[in-house]
Amino acid sequence: QKEVEQNSGPLSVPEGAIASLNCTYSDRGSQSFFWYRQYSGKSPELIMSIYSNGDKEDGRFTAQLNKASQYVSLLIRDSQPSDSATYLCAVRGGGYNKLIFGAGTRLAVHP
């Protein structure tokens, strides 16, 4: 079992819709959870951090965490073509607080 799993996509949504990106993790002791966005040919960019169960909202982005189910998600409201990118879920925990990345979900927002 991979430590952090994401559906590779592509996830295709129309402009203005809600994009829902999901991630599961295997280490029950994980404490910190992050979403990064990576445009093609660019470096990953942090867009959300979440540390406790529930929802955290920042603009059009909402991160959701359920530690009991070992599940973290990212919702993007009013999706724009500029949101088209690969979204990487990252989970920190275990020895030395190692940050483990999922393989990423490619999101395509079409006009």
Partner 1 sequence: DTAVSQTPKYLVTQMGNDKSIKCEQNLGHDTMYWYKQDSKKFLKIMFSYNNKELIINETVPNRFSPKSPDKAHLNLHINSLELGDSAVYFCASSQDNRDPPLFGPGTRLTVL
- Binding to partner 1, residues 48-67 (CB under 8 A): 49
**Does 92 participate in binding partner 1 (rule CB under 8 A)?**
yes
**Does 88 participate in binding partner 1 (rule CB under 8 A)?**
yes
**Does 1 participate in binding partner 1 (rule CB under 8 A)?**
no
User: Which residue among 11, 38, 70, 75 contacts partner 1 (CB under 8 A)?
Assistant: 38
Long-range contacts of 3-7 (CB under 8 A, 24+ apart): 3/27, 3/91, 3/100, 4/89, 4/90, 4/91, 4/100, 4/101, 4/102, 5/102, 5/103, 6/87, 6/88, 6/89, 6/102, 6/103, 6/104, 6/105, 7/105
Please calculate the CA angle 53-75-72 and round it to the nearest 5 degrees: 35
**Does 74 participate in binding partner 1 (rule CB under 8 A)?**
no
User: Which residue among 21, 30, 37, 44 contacts partner 1 (CB under 8 A)?
Assistant: 44
- Binding to partner 1, residues 9-28 (CB under 8 A): none
Under the rule (CB under 8 A), what is the footprint of partner 1? 32, 34, 38, 42-46, 49, 86, 88, 90, 92, 96-101, 103-104
